[in-house]
Amino acid sequence: MIPFPIDVQFFARAEDEGRTEEPTTRRRSKAESEGNFPRSRDLPAPLAILAVATYLKYSIPFMIDAMRDFTAAFLSGAVLVTDPTVRDMIQIAQLSVLALIKITLPVMILGAAFHIAGDILQIGFHFDWGYLKFNWGALKPDFSRVFSRFLPQRETLVELVKSIGKILIVGAVGFYIFWDNYGLIVETVRMGLWDGLSRIGEVTYQIILWTTLLLIAFSIPDYFYQRYEYTDKLKMTKEEVKDEHKQSEGDPQVKATQRKRMMELISRRMLHKVPKADVVITNPTHYAVALRYDQQEDNAPICLAKGADFLALRIRDIAEKNDVPIYEDRFLARALYDAVEIGEEIPHPFYDAVANVLAFVYRLRTAAV
């Protein structure tokens, strides 16, 4: 006789399995791309049921009018058509379908909308066309998946306890409302048809209202529990974190992102130095090079900032706002942009040209004073 297998990891947490590290952003993104999100499944259905029940409560007169119009039209057509043709039958069928759509379509749309809203409230709006692809692998027989249902699992036990608790509490509330209105329900036998149905409908709505509100209340702590379970399942071992880090470093897209961030950081630091420049040489809009020359500290003019196109315009704007002289020299600006790096002295072949520019700037300053 084969002993019934017991899962020894029944109450095992991630830490017990060596998964002590919090899930990385990449691991979370992968799980989300597969449609795995932390959410309580107890919220969407009660929301949809409550919305539909409330709609039905206040739209019963409209639905009765629609049914009455349909019945009258159907019966009048059936009486007038003694020898119906195929065309007559098609018209009657169309009338029936339109009446059915008029009654049921708002209910279906409302229920679907609130069911979707229940998920959006928990995970936000996520849509991927990949979710609509049919998964043929799900049809492949998997004995282990079927057999695991007969093994004790922590998730199964938690769901069982939750289900029993919901049934007991919701059942008790429903029974209390029913018993509290038992006398009113009994009195319906002495009422007219419409009054009796209205009273029974009111009691039924009260039961639906309070039970769905209870289920919605249950979904709040369940949501936080599902988030905890979700994070626990995604936790990683130290080795997994190291492997992912190595993979990320070799990923061209990650490298490109890191390079872009580094360039943005360098650009911000560079632009902060533009107000300290003595002159900005431009091309006039495609290139800009900001130079500083301190006779006491510098052996030669130093490039504080340089940029092309949009960055050149930013350098020019900052220079104008801080009263830094702007000197337009198409060829010199382009040559300096290619020849000098930020923070370095200009090469010797540019000494004469830059000296003329600085002399011109100094003369302007002296004349202004």
The predicted-structure confidence for 262-275, as pLDDT tens digits, reads as follows 777 767 788 888 88
What is the rounded average pLDDT for all residues in the chain? 79
In this prediction, residue 74 carries a pLDDT of 66
pLDDT of residue 15: 57
211-233 burial: b if 16+ Cβ within 10 Å, else e = bbebbbebbeebbeebeeebeee
Across residues 77-87, what is the average pLDDT?
A: 61
The answer to whether residue 254 scores a pLDDT higher than 90 is: no
* Average pLDDT rounded to a whole number, residues 180-184: 82
Q: Tens digit of pLDDT for each residue in 159-175? A: 888 889 888 988 888 88
In the predicted structure, residue 81 carries a pLDDT above the cut 50:
yes
Distance, in Å, from the CA atom of 141 to the CA atom of 12, rounded to the nearest integer, reads 28
Q: Which residue has the higher pLDDT, 320 or 159?
A: 320
Output Rg (C-alpha) for the chain, integer angstroms.
38
pLDDT at 8: 46
pLDDT reported for residue 252: 65
Kindly indicate the confidence band of residue 1, based on its pLDDT and cuts at 50, 70 and 90. very low
Residue 232 pLDDT > 90: no
User: Which pLDDT score, from 0 to 100, does residue 290 have?
Assistant: 92
Residues 302-309 have a mean pLDDT of 89
Q: How confident is the model at residue 4 (pLDDT cuts 50, 70, 90)?
A: very low
Amino acid at the residue 86: V
The torsion angles phi and psi of 162, rounded to 5 degrees, stand at -60, -45
Q: What is the pLDDT of residue 62?
A: 78
Residue 6 has pLDDT above 50, yes or no: no
Q: Which residue(s) pair with 290 in the sheet?
A: 280, 305
Which neighbouring-strand residues pair with 287? Answer: 308
Nearest-angstrom CA–CA distance, 199 and 179: 14
**Each residue's pLDDT tens digit, 12-38:** 555 556 677 788 777 888 777 777 788
Which pLDDT band holds residue 336 (cuts at 50, 70, 90)?
A: very high
Question: Which pLDDT score is estimated for 152?
Answer: 56
- What domains appear along the chain, each with residue ranges and CATH number? 40-124+143-244 (no CATH), 255-368 (3.40.1690.10)
Mean pLDDT for 313-338 is: 90
Which tokens sit at 367?
A: 């004349």
In this structure, are residues 64 and 103 in contact, taking their beta carbons and an 8 Å threshold?
no
Worst-scoring range by mean pLDDT, 9-13, 109-113, 355-359? Answer: 9-13
